[in-house]
Structure 1
Amino acid sequence: MMSDRTQGTVAGSVTRQMIGEMLLKNLQRLPDLDQKHFQYGPFLLGGTAGLAGLIANSLYRRALNVTQAAITSSLPMAMLPFMTTATLYTGVVSGPLLHGDLNCPTCVLLRGALVGLTSGAMYPILLALPVNLALAFRYDNILKLEKGNTFRFCVDISMPIVKKMRGIILMQVLFGTYLGYMNFESYTKLVHITFAPDREELND
């Protein structure tokens, strides 16, 4: 982690934009494993989010007796959580680290956990409900609901599914936290390479 003394020295001579450029320039000097944490970490979390989307989609299809349009409903349930989670993690964790805008280990872990919880777990579950509810209405798998009963119906059908996915929700939170931890460790090495007096490269 960048020390207060180092931060003060750097801040007094260069701008925040220059710090980010220096960090990005030295990214290739990190060990391969640390580079991969930044390059592929968001996509790994996005991949597990896509898997959570497929599982949620399958559970809702069974609960609503939907047998039609299996591929049509599965594609968005895999792709949307994947893209959203990868983009969000890059925007709030790995991106700010690489640009020198995030220097708090607790904040990194918390952000990683929140991305895993919200975008990686809850978003796929919430997305699967309207997708499959619309299919159920379209193919008359369930009776038409009155407006006052729609919300209650959604809650009643979602609670068992959320309970079944508690393990996946916990996994996403832990995975997001783990990625945040590994990214911050890599960031610490990157700061050392960039701002240490000897500027020595780290070995694999």
Structure 2
Amino acid sequence: MSGREFLELDTPQRSLYLEKCKRVELIQKMLDKLPKADQNLCNYGSYFLAVNASLCGLVTNHFFRNILHVRRAAFMSALPMAVVPFISTAVIYDIFVREALFVGELNCEVCAVVRGGLIGAVVGGLYPMFLALPLNASLAARSAAAPLPGGGCNFWVGAEPSEGLVRKMSLGVLLQALTGLYLATKHHGIYVKILQQMNASRDPEELQA
């Protein structure tokens, strides 16, 4: 079914989709009436978490390169470790926290805060470490910088030293979790402000303007 046919059919899915679109549009209008600080935090707050994820990726990549004595492809290994965690963290947080709040799928404050903390810790903290291990193990294998046990299993090249790395990066993971908790708390607070504005506005024409 094409997008045009979907919009033309009167189905429960189409009605739900249009209802969500109207809700998001209304909430965006209410958001524009909030202080600029709230608007910036709501629109760009996830980027702060994403930047921290990029930093975690770069630091982890640096540690793995030192552990495995990798000297080649410094820029090519640093680029994905900065870009991939940034995009993943920003997109996943926006989908599962910010957009979920605004479309009415996440009304529980505790659920939103826990979800934000988990995204910060797992996607923004742990994921860069798991991403850096195979990347640098592959570079080490190609340059013969580290011996490959078991007939060339790249994973085990950095598995043992990565245990110490996890301990070193535990503070970064904790900071990411706290950042995710903070952002989710603030986003839920902004969402509550918007709902209060919607309830306080008694002029239907104002809501539809």
In the superposition, the TM-score normalised over structure 2's length comes to: 0.83
The answer to whether the aligner puts 1:104 opposite 2:108 as a matched pair is: yes
1:26 match: secondary structure = helix
Cα 1:83–1:15 shift into 2, 3 Å = closer
2:105 match: secondary structure = coil
Partner residue in 1 for 2:127:
123
Q: Give the Å deviation of 1:153.
A: 4.5
Higher mean Cα deviation, 79-88 or 19-28?
A: 19-28
Q: Give the Å deviation of 1:81.
A: 0.1
Structure 1 unaligned segments of length 5 or more: list them.
1-13, 200-204
Give the counterpart of 1:159 among 160, 163, 174.
163
Distance 2:141 2:31 in 1: 51
Give the counterpart of 2:182 among 178, 184, 197.
178
Checking the alignment, whether the CA contact within 8 Å between 1:116 and 1:174 is kept in structure 2 is yes
Partner residue in 1 for 2:77:
73
Checking the alignment, whether the CA contact within 8 Å between 1:20 and 1:100 is kept in structure 2 is no
Whichever residue aligns with residue 132 of structure 1, its letter is N
State the superposition RMSD in angstroms.
1.9
Cα 1:147–1:108 shift into 2, 3 Å = farther
Q: Give the Å deviation of 1:114.
A: 0.6
2:147 match: secondary structure = coil
Q: Which has the higher contact order (CA 8 A, sep 6+)?
A: 1
1:70-113: CA deviations, max 9, x gaps?
11100100000000000000000011112222111001100100
Whichever residue aligns with residue 117 of structure 1, its letter is A
Q: Extract structure 1 runs of 4+ deviating beyond 6 A.
A: none
Checking the alignment, whether the CA contact within 8 Å between 1:24 and 1:99 is kept in structure 2 is no
Aligned length: 186
Higher mean Cα deviation, 158-167 or 92-101?
A: 92-101
In the superposition, the TM-score normalised over structure 1's length comes to: 0.85
Cα 1:167–1:153 shift into 2, 3 Å = same
Give the counterpart of 1:47 among 51, 55, 58.
51
Partner residue in 1 for 2:90:
86
Structure 2 unaligned segments of length 5 or more: list them.
1-17, 204-209
